[in-house]
Amino acid sequence: MTARQLVVVGLRFFSIWLCIKALQAVVYLANLRHADGLGQAAPSMYYMIGFLLSAAVVVWMTARQLAGAVLSGVPVNDACSPSLANLVAAGCVLMGLWWLKDAVAGLADSWVKAQVLAVTTGRSAFSSMALEARVRTGYFLGEGLAAAVLVGRPFAVIRRVLRLSANPPHRDPLQED
């Protein structure tokens, strides 16, 4: 399996995960509509569900093109033994996609909770969030940024990591001071 095929599989798993999140949002919306006084948050939930489903379809349909764009520096070969750099690049991209999944899920969860609080309190979504929720949202934004770097620039990350590990501080244990 080549690095490009690994990334395509990862993107398709990400698409499946987006569909599962959309299904969870539908269940949450059904529960929200049955709660007293919280039916006003429903229109924004429809947009989120539509966004998740459309993003899932787009990622699924363009997985090969996205993998080609992300791994544009990887040589295309059908060999079953890709180089170490290509495997590490595929690993960086897959790890970045996983972090992106966590960041998107966390931001969507914070957004939904803030929308519900805004409806119930009558204040804006940001002002209704507690300090911990704002810090958590900042964490998810940082995680999304790190994921974007891992997905968008895997070879730059590899060069940086390999450059740092190429010259480790080495001390000969047999040599006396």
Q: Does 137 fall in a domain? A: yes
More confident residue, 47 or 64: 64
Q: Does 28 fall in a domain? A: yes
Return the minimum-mean-pLDDT range out of 24-28, 103-107, 155-159: 24-28
Q: Is the pLDDT of residue 62 over 90?
A: yes
Q: Does 52 fall in a domain? A: yes
Distance between CA 46 and CA 99 in Å, rounded?
25
Range of the domain at 136: 3-166
pLDDT value for 87: 77
Structural contact between residues 11 and 58, judged by C-beta atoms closer than 8 angstroms:
no
Q: Does 142 fall in a domain? A: yes
Distance between CA 152 and CA 164 in Å, rounded?
20
Q: Does 174 fall in a domain? A: no
Q: What is the pLDDT of residues 102-138, one digit of tens each?
A: 898 888 888 887 877 777 777 777 777 778 888 888 8
Query: How many distinct structural domains can be found in the chain?
Result: 1
Q: Does 44 fall in a domain? A: yes
